[in-house]
Structure 1
Amino acid sequence: MAELSDNPALAPLQGPSPALPVAVAFSGGADSTALLLAAAATWPGQLHAIHVHHGLQAAADDFARHCETVCAGLNVPLHQVNVDARNEPGESPEDAARKARYAALAEAATTLGMKSVLLAQHADDQVETMLLALSRGAGLPGLAAMPQRFLRNGVHFERPLLGVSGVAIRAWLAGQGVSFIDDPTNADTAFTRNRIRHELLPALEKAFPQFRDTFARSARHAAQAQELLAALAADDLAIVGNPPAIRELRKLSRPRQANALRHWLRTAHQCAASAAQMEELLDQVDACATRGHDIRIKVGTGFVQRDGDSLRFLPVMPD
């Protein structure tokens, strides 16, 4: 097996070490296989693999057996977690699967005593995420795409391959003599992300060969700007209150009201308002000059409504 140093494309794993012991989220696909091989060579004896069994495909059991074979050959302990990734009404299948996957990874890592979890998203995935965000009219959080590191459910997640192209990963993997799974759903252009991957990225490669680097730079700029807006929102909410007092909220400019309200919904209620919902909410706050003015607007999975002198978020309870 080739050494990690044989391909500079995977040099991110030779940088600062994550907190050990560490787990790799291992699907059996090309990207997570390359990450697992490189991590096993870098941190022998400090590595576990976690396979999330979504149960969404008939071949899911075959994927799990493949992962068992690869991990046994590397002498890396494998832990399988089964999740129900079916989407709720109004929720996209991709979002449902992603939420279920991260929750399962965090729970498994905590149970196993892992300090970090490595994810195999790479530079092409980052570009796809940005293009998806642009197609949906996203703001800075969407344009910032995927962070290199983040904390979820008390577990540190890292994406060490965000600066590496998918082509470079597969080129390195080709010399390792280890098979990987080609998930047939990745070729299904009924999914927007797959259309981006198979139709837009080749066009970008032809027109702008450096697009991965320039998109990554733009994502970093957006992330830095969003950090500033989040800090401003936290300062404003410290004055406005949580839940926000309408009188104090009305003292802010409309853009700062929107920034504070988005931050409140995101951090206190894990909810995001659409552009149309936020505009309607701001209009209602602007019109809320009297105690008798009611507010009740559908936002995300619940309602924002007036409760006395403040705004409250009421989630919709499932039947």
Structure 2
Amino acid sequence: MQPLPLLHEATLTSLRRTKNLLAFSGGGDSTALFFLLLAHNIPFDIAHVNYQTREQSSVEEAYAKRLAEMYHKHLFSFTCKLENANFEHYAREERYTFFEAVIQEHGYENLLTAHHLGDQLEWFLMQLTRGAGLVEMLGMQEVESREHYTLMRPLLHVSKKKLQDYLEEHNITYFNDASNDSFKHLRNKFRHDYATPLIDAYEEGIAKSFAYLEEDRKRLLPHQPKRLKELFILPKDADDLINIRQIDKILKLLGILVSKAQRDEILKTESCVIGGKIAVCFEKERIFIAPYLKHDMEKHFKEVCRKARIPSKIRPYLYTSGIDPNVLR
């Protein structure tokens, strides 16, 4: 099978040097990525989640097993049953909890997902209608650092049509999820009515625009946060727009999508608790973000924190997590 030039050469070079885990559903996108990785001699194993929501769920799991055996890949399987209410949210939580457990136990460096150009445009349009900024609208990046691994989306610049053409050209079996055609989920309506027609008509221009926008996003997020467990420390920028964009991104990693009122509160107070869960505190040169806790602390510990200029709302998390304040000087 001849590989198509769908993956960036820089991505391929990076993946050849690392231990990779592919999130595999048996649908067209993840199946195309499976065979593209094979064609480019990328080392990887696969992880599959069976939600037991459709009759073909067991068939998709069996297909994952068959591919793993045929191509000598290790398969990690997880089966769960979720309630219908807010299914997508809880399915994502279960899925990533499973993936991250596998990654930590077996030492994988990258988690590969098959998000494509249509997924990126669909997200962009949904955020656009909600009054989001550039960073929020570009919620998907090809390479995204997580605490214990790197999340990679190698197909983010590729249209679904090209992936389907690849599957058909090589006569590769894959499965269609009927729930993707249901307008019960708002994202499906955006995909059907807006994202897919736009990409069909203007694919090349849309792909180029996202590449340019990604460069703009990097300028809005110029600083890399330091992370210790669930504590994040950012350099404080002279531009509050950059500060709030960086904070926004970290809060999203922690599962919180902030409103405009909350953003205004963060910048106005420079010391607040968002959603009763996460403390965001400015110091002279740094911004601290950590889970908000209340805990009695030893007098000596509080004095060390004071000397290290660690905000009071952050100290209980350091204390309970065993983080030495001295390393934050």
Task: Give the TM-score normalised by structure 2.
Answer: 0.69
Q: Confirm or deny: 8 A CA contact 1:204 1:211 kept in the other structure.
A: no
Pairing 1:122-137 to 2, within 5 Å after superposition: 122-137=116-131
Instruction: Decide whether aligned partners of structure 1 residues 74 and 54 sit closer, same or farther in structure 2, where only a CA change above 3 A counts.
Output: same
1:53 maps to which residue? 50
Deviates more, 1:191-200 or 1:74-83: 74-83
Deviation at 1:15, TM superposition (A): 3.2
Give the AA of the match of 2:35: L
| Paired residue secondary structure (1:24) | strand
Q: Confirm or deny: 8 A CA contact 1:26 1:32 kept in the other structure.
A: yes
User: Which one of 19, 31, 34 corresponds to residue 33 of structure 1?
Assistant: 31
1:276 maps to which residue? 261
1:15 aligns with 2:12: yes
| Paired residue secondary structure (2:14) | coil
User: Which one of 167, 188, 191 corresponds to residue 194 of structure 1?
Assistant: 188
> How far apart are the structure 2 equivalents of 1:301 and 1:59?
42
Pairing 1:152-167 to 2, within 5 Å after superposition: 152-167=146-161
Deviation at 1:144, TM superposition (A): 2.3
> How far apart are the structure 2 equivalents of 1:52 and 1:221?
34
> How far apart are the structure 2 equivalents of 1:39 and 1:257?
38
Q: Confirm or deny: 8 A CA contact 1:258 1:282 kept in the other structure.
A: yes
> How far apart are the structure 2 equivalents of 1:147 and 1:159?
7
Q: Confirm or deny: 8 A CA contact 2:118 2:199 kept in the other structure.
A: no
* Structure 2 runs not aligned, ≥5 long: 226-232, 282-293, 295-310, 318-329
Matched residue pairs, number? 281
2:66 maps to which residue? 69
| Paired residue secondary structure (2:170) | coil
| Paired residue secondary structure (1:51) | strand
> How far apart are the structure 1 equivalents of 2:206 and 2:240?
35
Instruction: Decide whether aligned partners of structure 1 residues 270 and 170 sit closer, same or farther in structure 2, where only a CA change above 3 A counts.
Output: closer
Give the AA of the match of 2:73: V
> How far apart are the structure 2 equivalents of 1:264 and 1:49?
28
1:300 aligns with 2:299: no
> How far apart are the structure 2 equivalents of 1:209 and 1:296?
43
Instruction: Decide whether aligned partners of structure 1 residues 279 and 174 sit closer, same or farther in structure 2, where only a CA change above 3 A counts.
Output: same
Q: Deviations over 1:15-44 (max 9, x none)?
A: 313143322111101111111112123337
Give the AA of the match of 1:35: L
> How much identity, in percent, do the aligned residues show?
22
Stretches of 4+ aligned residues off by more than 6 angstroms: 303-307
Deviation at 1:169, TM superposition (A): 0.8
Pairing 1:1-319 to 2, within 5 Å after superposition: 2-4=1-3, 7-10=4-7, 15-18=12-15, 19-43=17-41, 46-57=43-54, 59-82=56-79, 92-205=86-199, 208-228=202-222, 234-236=234-236, 258=244, 262=248, 271-279=256-264, 285=269, 299-300=274-275, 302=277, 312=313
* Structure 1 runs not aligned, ≥5 long: 238-251, 287-294
| Paired residue secondary structure (1:150) | strand
Give the AA of the match of 1:72: E
Higher RCO, Cα 8 Å, sep 6+: 1
2:285 maps to which residue? none
| Paired residue secondary structure (2:183) | coil
| Paired residue secondary structure (1:169) | helix
Instruction: Decide whether aligned partners of structure 1 residues 189 and 301 sit closer, same or farther in structure 2, where only a CA change above 3 A counts.
Output: farther
Q: Deviations over 1:153-200 (max 9, x none)?
A: 411221111121111111011122321110111111221221122110
> How far apart are the structure 2 equivalents of 1:311 and 1:138?
31
Q: Deviations over 1:24-66 (max 9, x none)?
A: 111101111111112123337x321111233444543332122
Deviation at 1:205, TM superposition (A): 3.8
RMSD: 3.8
